[in-house]
Copies of this chain bind each other. A is one copy, B any other.
């Protein structure tokens, strides 16, 4: 059977021995020349590099990895269907590892434990140097266990086993930051509309909101309102809140989606934002935050930095002792027109 050739010329990728033959040196010398070892005569190196160039030799990483015992690959195991969290984390990881030094296998388990095990096994078979597990909630998730041959770091969703290392955004600090911002904008009648109370994110953010209020000697206006993470709920909840507490002048929302809904209702009711009521969202999901009327102030979880940190931890765990516990990363306030009017 004739090998169909891509038209590139060589029917097979060039190997080091091809280079060596062409340069008239041994394989060992070719290897040293190409890897920039200094035990090679300059003239020889030049000859080897030219030969390599000529047949467009690229070193086979598989062979290198097999020998080195390290592959320079990391597995990113996720259940984040939307990619909302996983993409910035992936980018942060790429950054931390340094351009092109490390490549990332992205596996989507789709919330299925079986599939997750499947992917985990595949990653281990491919001898990844480490694994980052990315969840889509900040609720603790089942640990992959302690008996894995490579370091594992849990990002966004922490592991339920304190023996694991987890990196997660500090939602409580975020809630506090949000309310402090409203207070600094001169608000004192502050309500809180959030999402599904089954989420740790919802509960933690509320704790932070209460922290901030208490520190200022304030109390929440009405009860914290929970239901689901949607614009629809944001609209309905805002209507309820405004009916019962017409004097509200600030609303901390549990997500940008909810905040968008809240903005809709405020507009329907003729309340000006931010003059009458200031609104702050959570997540800083650009597509939502920058397109609303007015644009939405929000809390950003610094996911890209989270990815960087997770990646760094994977690497330090390769060398040093493995740290454990949950690390809470600071969040960031992004101010837009929903809390401070444009001039």
Which residues of A come within 8 Å of B, CB atoms? 4, 6-10, 13, 56, 58-63, 65-66, 71, 73, 76, 81-84, 86-87, 90-91, 94, 99-100, 103-108, 110, 115, 118-119, 121-127, 146-149, 151, 230-232, 235, 257, 260-261, 264, 287-288, 291-293, 320-322
Contact = CB atoms under 8 A, between A and B. Distances in A.
Copies of this chain per assembly: 2
Contact of A61 (B107, B126, B257): B126
Nearest to A62: B66
A119 B261 CA distance: 41
Contacts of A118: 99-100
Given A91-B108, A322-B6, A123 B103 contact: yes
A328 B105 CA distance: 29
B108 A105 contact: no
A62 B65 CA distance: 8
Given A6-B148, A8-B149, 12 more contacts: A13-B149, A58-B124, A62-B65, A62-B66, A63-B66, A90-B108, A91-B110, A100-B118, A100-B119, A103-B105, A230-B291, A231-B292
Contact of A287 (B6, B107, B264, B287): B287
A8 B293 contact: no
A71 B235 CA distance: 51
A150 to B, nearest CB: 8
A60 B107 contact: no
Contacts of A65: 62
- Nearest 7 Cβ contacts at the A-B interface: A83-B87, A83-B83, A231-B291, A106-B106, A8-B147, A61-B125, A100-B118
Nearest to A152: B6
B91 A87 contact: no
Given A86-B83, A100-B121, A127 B62 contact: yes
Contacts of A127: 13, 60-62
Contacts of A321: 4
A291 B108 contact: no
Given A91-B108, A103-B123, A71 B81 contact: no
Contact of A62 (B81, B123, B126): B126
A7 B108 CA distance: 28
A149 B57 CA distance: 11
Contacts of A99: 115, 118
Contact of A148 (B8, B60, B115): B8
30 contacts: A6-B149, A6-B151, A7-B146, A8-B147, A9-B147, A10-B149, A13-B127, A13-B149, A58-B125, A59-B125, A60-B125, A60-B127, A62-B62, A62-B65, A62-B66, A62-B126, A81-B87, A82-B287, A83-B84, A90-B106, A91-B108, A100-B121, A103-B126, A105-B105, A231-B291, A231-B292, A232-B291, A257-B287, A261-B291, A264-B293
